[in-house]
Amino acid sequence: MQPIKNLPARDGQLGWFESVPFQRPMPVRQAEQNEHFDIIIIGAGFSGLATAGRLAELRPEARIAVIDALEVGQGTSGRNAGFIIDLPHNLDATEPDVELNTRVRDLNCFAIQRLKRIQEQQGLDVCWHAAGKYLAAHEEKHFANLNAFVNTLEAIGEQYEILDGEALATRLGTHYYQRAVYTPGNILMNPAALAISVASALPDNVTLLENTPVREVDLSNKVVQTPKARLSADTLVLATNSFTEKFGVCRNQLVPVFTYASLTRPLDDSEISQFDGVTPWGLTSAHPAGTTVRLTPDKRVFIRNTLNFQPALRSSQALLDKARDQHRKSLLARFPRLANVLFEYTWGGMICMTMNHEPVFKEQAPGLYVVAAMNGVGVAKGTYLGHYMAELICGKQSPELDFILQHSAPSWVPPDPVRSMGARIRLAVEARRARGEV
Ligand SMILES: Cc1cc2nc3c(=O)[nH]c(=O)nc-3n(C[C@H](O)[C@H](O)[C@H](O)COP(=O)(O)OP(=O)(O)OC[C@H]3O[C@@H](n4cnc5c(N)ncnc54)[C@H](O)[C@@H]3O)c2cc1C
């Protein structure tokens, strides 16, 4: 058995998880006894849950287990900014690849429809709202990225609106941004609530085992050791995001980048009055290292920024404190009248990047499958890759699966210490370039 040296941790106060507006419908169950399953999926994020959901549809007789070191909604899938992005997210495309972007858009929309159906069926309040998304620039030098995005939208025939100055300020309740491209198809939600909703929809042939870290693994024999039980399977799926490399696969492919988020307390009546006529919104930055901001339906402000390379896959109190200080500056730069509003929660989470932005999606060895590296857009991508991972396992062919297989070849990343040095230098350069957008 090979030990797994780095295990997931909570990395701060998980704002979305703590503010889920409903009682979890199913009990939390851990692995208590040795058991054999037909299929074990490690990782109960959007990728693992989608794999399990589709497998259960295709093989209703199979005994399937989904295992996670944390509770559903506590991993990165429950810590993100809560955007289910419908459109390709390429800001540097001067000559957009129409075929590729159309396919990615269609797959994202497929994922949105699937998640929408689940949350409607389950009837849990995941704060789902079709708010669209602003891609916004504070500084003129980043207008080029907005133009590149517009080029892609034009090429694939998507609707958009360009907003400047006062018209934009009226929509957002801040004059901070000079220009934005608004696209209507993005969904905003509470990601921890949505992950719990998706997990609650899994049928009876799927056993969900939480607070169950896999501490040792034998990938050849598909055996995993958890604190209280040894589990085995005929088929093993790793849906473990950046932790995948700790299982000894995807070496020299992944770049785990930590980023941080904070959520304020709900604004009171006088504080929310400065947003008179403004409906809840979500905004990402024209520079990839800039700030993501949301005004939520429960009147909180969400801020996400700060990137650092953490090969131990764990944050620290010092890094969380530093990120919260930056979040405060970002909040006040946009909303100076919210000087009395403190953050109730600050947490960190991992964006699993690859050099060429392609995910890992493959049969690593007979009966061993890997789906990882969502490159920062894992709600939609994890959902559709998980779905098609199940189809790959079951031998179900489709043009969508062919497309995914053709675009799942992450390029080579040099081993440490070159990887760490390179990542830190690159992040420092990008942070300097994005300074005005943070
Ligand atoms: C702050 C932040 C904001 C983001 N914003 C967005 C956004 O708005 N929209 C978007 O689409 N994406 C966003 N992302 C990215 C998105 O959250 C990820 O792409 C997505 O969560 C990946 O899903 P996943 O299921 O592949 O991995 P994860 O959600 O990371 O799930 C992997 C699971 O594997 C489990 N695991 C790992 N190792 C073990 C082990 N040894 N034993 C047991 N379990 C294990 C982990 O606990 C974890 O729950 C953001 C990320 C961050 C950090």
Residue 155 maps to a domain: yes
Decide whether any atom of ligand 1 lies within 6 Å of the 256 Cβ: no
Given this model, what pLDDT does residue 311 score? 85
Shared-domain flag, residues 344 and 272: yes
Pocket perturbation via mutation, ligand 1, pick of 240, 302, 350 by most ligand atoms within 8 A of CB: 240
423 neighbors 309 (Cβ within 8 angstroms): yes
Given this model, what pLDDT does residue 35 score? 98
Shared-domain flag, residues 172 and 274: yes
Shared-domain flag, residues 297 and 226: no
Interval 328-352: pLDDT, tens: 999 999 999 999 999 999 999 999 9
Decide whether any atom of ligand 1 lies within 6 Å of the 198 Cβ: no
Shared-domain flag, residues 204 and 262: no
Residue 265 maps to a domain: yes
Shared-domain flag, residues 197 and 138: no
Shared-domain flag, residues 241 and 312: no
- Hunting for tokens 């700790």 — which residue is that? 246
Distance CA 299, CA 437 (A): 23
Partners of residue 67 on adjacent β-strands: 42, 209
Last residue of a domain, one of 311, 339, 355: 355
CA-nearest residue, atom 34 of ligand 1:
43
Shared-domain flag, residues 148 and 39: no
Residue 434 maps to a domain: no
Cα R_g (the chain), whole angstroms: 21
pLDDT per residue of the chain (438 residues) written in tens, 0 to 9? 999 999 999 999 999 999 999 999 999 999 999 999 999 999 999 999 999 999 999 999 999 999 999 999 999 999 999 999 999 876 555 678 899 999 999 999 999 999 999 999 999 999 999 999 999 999 999 999 999 999 999 999 999 999 999 999 999 999 999 999 999 999 999 999 999 999 999 999 999 999 999 999 999 999 999 999 999 999 999 999 999 999 999 989 999 999 999 999 999 999 999 899 999 999 999 998 999 999 999 999 999 999 998 888 999 999 999 999 999 999 999 999 999 999 999 999 999 999 999 999 999 999 999 999 999 999 999 999 999 999 999 999 999 999 999 999 999 988 888 888 888 888 888 888 888 889
Nearest to 112, CA basis, from 297, 392, 381, 402: 381
Residue 124 maps to a domain: no
Residue 116 maps to a domain: no
Shared-domain flag, residues 147 and 217: no
Residue 100 maps to a domain: no
CB pairs under 8 A, 24+ apart, for 329-338? 330/291, 330/293, 330/303, 330/305, 330/438, 331/262, 331/264, 331/301, 331/303, 333/176, 334/174, 334/176, 334/293, 335/173, 335/174, 335/274, 335/301, 337/271, 337/274, 338/264, 338/267, 338/271, 338/301
Pocket perturbation via mutation, ligand 1, pick of 67, 71, 80 by most ligand atoms within 8 A of CB: 80
Given this model, what pLDDT does residue 76 score? 98
Shared-domain flag, residues 327 and 294: yes
Pocket perturbation via mutation, ligand 1, pick of 77, 262, 314 by most ligand atoms within 8 A of CB: 77
Shared-domain flag, residues 334 and 243: no
Given this model, what pLDDT does residue 92 score? 58
Shared-domain flag, residues 269 and 299: yes
- Hunting for tokens 């990165």 — which residue is that? 76
Decide whether any atom of ligand 1 lies within 6 Å of the 304 Cβ: yes
438 neighbors 326 (Cβ within 8 angstroms): yes
Given this model, what pLDDT does residue 425 score? 87
Maximum pairwise Cα distance, the chain: 63
| Ligand 1 atom nearest 195 alpha carbon | 29
Given this model, what pLDDT does residue 418 score? 85
Last residue of a domain, one of 306, 336, 355: 355
Residue 74 maps to a domain: yes
Given this model, what pLDDT does residue 312 score? 87
Given this model, what pLDDT does residue 423 score? 85
Given this model, what pLDDT does residue 29 score? 97
Shared-domain flag, residues 39 and 145: no
CA-nearest residue, atom 9 of ligand 1:
83
Domain count along the chain: 2
Residue 35 maps to a domain: yes
Given this model, what pLDDT does residue 91 score? 58
Please name the residues in contact with 30: beta carbons below 8 A apart, sequence gap of 6 or more. 209, 210, 211, 212, 226, 227, 228
The CATH number of residue 25's host domain is 3.50.50.60
Range of the domain at 331: 130-188+255-355
End-to-end CA distance of the chain: 45
